[in-house]
């Protein structure tokens, strides 16, 4: 009985720990105009409520800030996709151009380039993606990002 309780305690701690953002795992954002125009393979966003991962279809997302979190210089979100029989690659990309919205907020546009070689697989995977956006925050006047396909700005 004690072994089972110890195992349960360890699993709970690992689950809680995995929710924290490890800034050492943040991959650098890529600033490249031509890469920004590359098409991405399909993926959906995920949210976690009560330690359960839920898949969300894009049109159900009212505010991208409910999906994306920014802590210090690390942008964090979760995705789900078909998996189980191949590799995938993900890059967060910006074209590096500054835009201004109707309220005068300066922002960079960003998008996830997701290449999935698992598209005909039957498993569903959930990944936590972390990206270092410090290179976009060098411009002190910019305090927002805009994720492609969404109207809301992400506050930095």
The DSSP secondary structure of 38-69, one letter per residue, reads S-----EEEEEETTEEEEE-GGG-S-GGGT-E
CB 55 within 8 A of CB 67: no
What is the three-class DSSP state of 2?
helix
Determine phi and psi for 121, rounding to 5 degrees.
-85, 160
pLDDT for residue 5: 41
Each residue of 55-65: b (16+ CB within 10 Å) or e? beeeeebeebe
pTM of the model: 0.80
CB 139 within 8 A of CB 96: no
Q: Give the residue extent of every domain in the chain.
A: 21-155
H or E, element range at 151: none
CB 81 within 8 A of CB 17: no
What's domain 21-155's architecture? Sandwich (2.60)
CA dist 71 and 101 (Å) reads 23
Extract the residue ranges of the chain whose pLDDT is less than 70: 1-23
CA dist 129 and 75 (Å) reads 8
């Amino acid at each position: 009985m004690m072994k089972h309780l110890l195992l349960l305690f360890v699993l709970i701690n690992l689950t809680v720990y995995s929710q924290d953002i490890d800034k050492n795992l943040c991959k650098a954002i890529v600033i490249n105009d031509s890469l920004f125009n590359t098409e991405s393979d399909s993926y959906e966003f995920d949210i976690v409520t009560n330690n359960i991962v839920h898949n969300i279809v894009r049109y159900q997302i009212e505010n991208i800030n409910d999906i994306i979190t920014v802590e210090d210089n690390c942008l964090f979100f979760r995705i789900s996709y078909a998996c189980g029989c191949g590799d995938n690659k993900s890059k967060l990309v910006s074209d590096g151009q500054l835009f201004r919205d109707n309220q005068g907020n300066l922002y960079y546009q960003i998008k996830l380039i997701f290449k999935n070689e698992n598209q005909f697989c039957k498993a569903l995977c959930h990944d936590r993606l972390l990206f270092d956006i410090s290179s976009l925050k060098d411009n002190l006047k910019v305090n927002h990002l805009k994720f492609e396909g969404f109207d809301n700005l992400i506050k930095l």
